[in-house]
Amino acid sequence: MLTTAWTRRHVISLADFLPEDYDTILQTAASFSEVLTRRNKKVPTLQGQVVTNLFFEPSTRTRSSFELAAKRLSADTLNFSPGSSSLSKGETILDTAKTYLAMGTDIMVIRHKQAGVPQAIANEMERLGTNVRVLNAGDGQHEHPSQALLDLYTICSLLDPKNPRVDLLQGQKIAIVGDILHSRVARSNIWSLTAAGAEVHLAGPPTLLPQHFKEYAQASQQNELELERKLYVHWQLEPALENADFVMTLRLQHERMAQHLLPSLREYHQRFGITRDRLKLCKPHVKVLHPGPVNRGVELNSDLMDDPELSLIPQQVSNGVAVRMALLYLLGGGR
């Protein structure tokens, strides 16, 4: 395992991540990917430590991925779900977190439908002088850093399987298509991809794009990295796809129709659905990503999803375990 300069205590947002942070994660994930090709995929790194999944918003897929990552590092895992919990008895979120702290949790993986909850819990853990580490597994429409990091790893390890690193993204054009406005996945990806040097093109219906695009640009300027972030927004699909190296599609939430932000799934697909025909606008080697679960025939055509030449979706899921092992390892001070 590499010697790393990693000093972060929590992973809540990618807004201030530096290229070297990304590189540390990519290299650590690469070494765990190697472990995952063995018959015995377990390593004793976090033996005797406790990883608690505090999923206030239920999720099977992300929780399973974190749970498996923790088990493969030999950690013990606890799963909290709100269904039968103290929350319905009036306990505050911070008190729930402090209960799991007191039980002996070392790393908390937190999902909540409200933005800011993981940060609030991390702040409380620091205020109390604890050594607990917090990992944001998705908070409202804010961020979903582990998803963006697995996307980054999927792209970089495709570009150079032996040595995935962020400078590989220089000159790559990446389209992100769909409901950008409500997507924590998009938000995290915008931070990581633009910081890593890619040219990022957002495309979607105007109602599902940030109304004040400037918020992103301003945020970039405020960022102490002073990177020149290459971020473009389009109300049409075509300019985003043109000569793209990668196309990231986002999940369309059905509730957007009820909110009158979209007329119908069919109309969405007609204008922004990814089809084989439309992919001809991209580079010949273009690859398609999706964070899942996919609405087949809405965000992208069913046959594209199943085409191993085009779709990186299975790799995203597999890499998700390796990247989450890397995050738990780095936060857990793995030895």
Residues that bind a second copy (CB under 8 A): 36, 38-42, 47-50, 58-61, 64-65, 67-68, 71-72, 76, 78, 80-81, 83-86, 89-92, 95-96, 98-104, 251, 254, 292-296, 313-318, 320-321
Question: Shortest Cβ distance from residue 267 to a second copy (Å)?
Answer: 17
Structure tokens at 51: 């990883």
Three-state SS at 131: coil
- Whose Cβ is closer to a second copy: residue 51's or residue 180's? 51
The answer to whether residues 238 and 272 touch, using CB atoms and an 8 Å cutoff, is no
Cβ proximity to a second copy: between 3 and 84 the closer is 84
Cβ 23 to a second copy shortest distance, Å: 25
Task: Return the residue matching tokens 């092992």.
Answer: 325
Site of tokens 């957007």: 256
**Shortest Å distance, C-beta 129 to a second copy:** 10
Q: Which two tokens stand for residue 19?
A: 């290229």
Interatomic CA distance for residues 12 and 36, integer angstroms: 26
| Minimum CB–partner distance for residue 303 and a second copy (Å) | 14
Residue 52 C-beta: closest distance to a second copy, Å: 8
* Per-residue CA distances from 46 to 11, 210, 250, 259, 298 (Å): 18, 40, 33, 44, 41
How far apart (Å, rounded) are the C-alpha atoms in residues 12 and 136? 5
**CB of 276 vs a second copy, minimal distance in Å:** 19
> Of 74 and 223, which has the nearer Cβ to a second copy?
74
Choice between 93 and 248, CB closer to a second copy: 93
Pull the structure tokens for residue 53: 């999944």
Q: DSSP assignment of 213-234, as one string?
A: THHHHHHHHHSTT----EEEEE
Residue 128: CB minimum distance to a second copy, A: 9
Strand order in the sheet with 76-80: 76-80, 50-55, 107-112, 133-139
Q: Are strands 287-289 and 246-249 parallel, antiparallel or unpaired?
A: parallel
